[in-house]
Amino acid sequence: MSLESLTASFRLDRSRSAASQVYEHLREAIVTLALEPGTSLSRTQVAEALDLSPMPVRDALSRLEKEGLVEIFPQHLTRVRAIDLDSARQAHVLRLSVELEIVHGLASTRSADIDKLLMGAVIKQRACLEADDIGGFILFDQEFHKTMYHAAQLMSVWHMIRGASGNLDRLRRLHVPVNGKAQTVLEEHTGIAQAIAAGDPAGAQQWVRRHLSGTLTELDSLRERYPDYILPMADFTDRAPVNS
């Protein structure tokens, strides 16, 4: 993505923090791989392109560095980091632990309104898959999971996990276009939603384990496909993916 393309869609909302908006805009570009690992960003050039002072850009890049998504070097140079597998693994463990509890609770209490929202997200995902719209498919993937957190009244946890999941999200972004993966995700979301609607906590948890562990079991093939996108981690393959 060129600097012009990066900044063309940016619209500053004067009622909100400029640094937060720059952070959100850059983070979205990084997580969706529009800004690929290894891409260089000049703080000064980004600020000029966005018609902002350097300070909000600096603050945004500092937040992204803390999330492990960029590296900041002297002389105002910043580079998008390759995917950190240890960070992805830790986000996976956190998310799996939380979502197992969430689906257990939702299936135990049951709500027709929640069932409708979850199946609505599945229907939207199916439409995106049929239209070969991977970006939309991933957007509604997040909507599906966000709906569960909202129903469980855990939106603060949702935002915390989103902030910690940049590397995991990039890994999944590489995996979804692989043949058959999107269809598998759709089947897993359907399984989760149906188990919740049926009041089957154990079944819902089984689907969540299967769903959230899929990408980590494909690390070798993803490394082979995208060697420049993923940081080497010698001992990672010795660790079994968490499935319980």
Per-residue HEC secondary structure of the chain comes to: CCHHHHHHCCCCCCCCCHHHHHHHHHHHHHHCCCCCCCCEEEHHHHHHHHCCCHHHHHHHHHHHHHCCCEEEECCCEEEECCECHHHHHHHHHHHHHHHHHHHHHHHHHCCHHHHHHHHHHHHHHHHHHHCCCHHHHHHHHHHHHHHHHHHCCCHHHHHHHHHHCHHHHHHHHHHCCCCCHHHHHHHHHHHHHHHHHCCCHHHHHHHHHHHHHCHHHHHHHHHHHCCCCECCCCCHHHCCCCCC
At residue 243, the pLDDT reads: 41
The pLDDT value recorded for residue 236 is: 42
Residues 96 and 51 in one domain: no
What's the pLDDT at 1? Answer: 58
Q: Please indicate, yes or no, whether residues 116 and 230 belong to a single structural domain of this protein.
A: yes
Q: Are residues 73 and 184 in the same domain?
A: no
Residues contacting residue 56 through CB under 8 Å, at least 6 positions apart: 17, 18, 19, 21, 22, 47
For each of the chain's 244 residues, which pLDDT tens digit applies? 566 677 777 877 888 899 999 999 999 999 999 999 999 998 888 888 888 999 999 999 999 999 999 999 877 789 999 999 999 999 999 999 999 999 999 999 989 999 999 999 999 999 999 999 999 999 999 999 999 999 999 999 999 999 999 999 999 999 988 878 999 999 999 999 999 999 999 999 999 999 998 777 788 888 888 989 998 764 444 444 444 3
Same domain membership, residue 224 and residue 109 = yes
Q: Are residues 128 and 200 in the same domain?
A: yes
Say whether both 166 and 58 belong to one domain: no
CB 206 within 8 A of CB 198: no
Name the residue type at position 167: N
Q: Residues 167, 92: one domain?
A: yes
In a domain, 244, yes or no: no
Same domain, 104 and 9: no
Are 72 and 21 in a shared domain? yes
CB neighbours of 145 closer than 8 A, spacing ≥ 6? 99, 158
Domain identity same for 110 and 224: yes
Q: Are 43 and 81 in contact (CB under 8 A)?
A: no
